[in-house]
Amino acid sequence: MYSSLSQFKEYLWIPASDTSRDTQLTMYLQSACEMLNKICWVDSFDKNSYEEEIDARKLYINSFWYVVFLKNKPVSSIDKINGENYSGVKWSDYMVSQQRRVIFKSALDINDFWFVSLTYTAWYDRARVVWQTTVDDLPDDLKILEMMLACWILPDSMKEEFHIGISSYKLWDEQIVFGAKSSANTQSAEDMYFSFSYMIDKYKNFNLAI
């Protein structure tokens, strides 16, 4: 999960002392986390090691560099090439621009099938230590998006109780309809829809072909 149970309860105006629905709310958050990953085409937004097969025929190649677009971002390091540890130094042997565009200074070792396997580290560190303080680098709007989706999963009785007002999210053939009745105390469905679509668009992933 990206947001904590305590954050979700605060989002729903549930007192911290009320633990009667903690198990149920945790289940909704976990489901929303998986849904958010699927919508954005990622395995996770947590910083981790990812392996990706690149079709070398689509690489921009000349006498000076190879350019690769990776799925996960921001890319912090290239760790292995074709299963072998990569000793190249960032900003010396390769550089990363626009978070996912990796430019190698020297040629890559391409196998007989014209594919190259890259293992790299990407996304957000959830437990970075700064001056003996643990910092979560995950953007707050991802946590909010997860909680918004979790609200959609809630049963109608809880939606009614918490006056959740959000209409729908749709992009081409991808659609999520959020069911909730309007309330004078809630943000309008149109505003909620705009907020959701605006926040999620910058995290949606896709494969780039050159």
Residue 187 to residues 6, 10, 46, 83, 155, Cα–Cα distance (Å): 22, 17, 30, 51, 20
Dihedral angle computed from the Cα positions of residues 61, 62, 65 and 66, in that order, rounded to the nearest 10 degrees = 0
Q: How many CA atoms lie within 13 A of 186 on its CB side?
A: 22
- Return d(Cα 160, Cα 164) in angstroms, integer: 7
- What pLDDT digit, counting tens, does each position of 126-185 carry? 998 888 899 999 999 999 999 989 988 888 788 777 766 544 444 445 555 544 444 434
Identify the band that residue 198 occupies on the pLDDT scale cut at 50, 70 and 90. confident
Tell how strand 101-104 and strand 94-97 pair up. Answer: antiparallel
The helix-helix angle for 22-40 and 189-201 (nearest 10°) equals: 60
**Which phi and psi (to 5°) does residue 35 adopt?**
-65, -45
* Global pTM value: 0.73
- Return d(Cα 123, Cα 46) in angstroms, integer: 6
Class of residue 49 by CB neighbours under 10 A (exposed 0-12, middle 13-18, buried 19+): exposed
- What pLDDT digit, counting tens, does each position of 22-61 carry? 999 999 999 999 999 998 888 899 999 999 998 877 676 6
Residues 164-196 as b or e (16 or more Cβ within 10 Å = b): bbbbebeeeeeebebebeeeeebeebeebbebb
**Which phi and psi (to 5°) does residue 51 adopt?**
-115, 135
Identify the band that residue 199 occupies on the pLDDT scale cut at 50, 70 and 90. confident
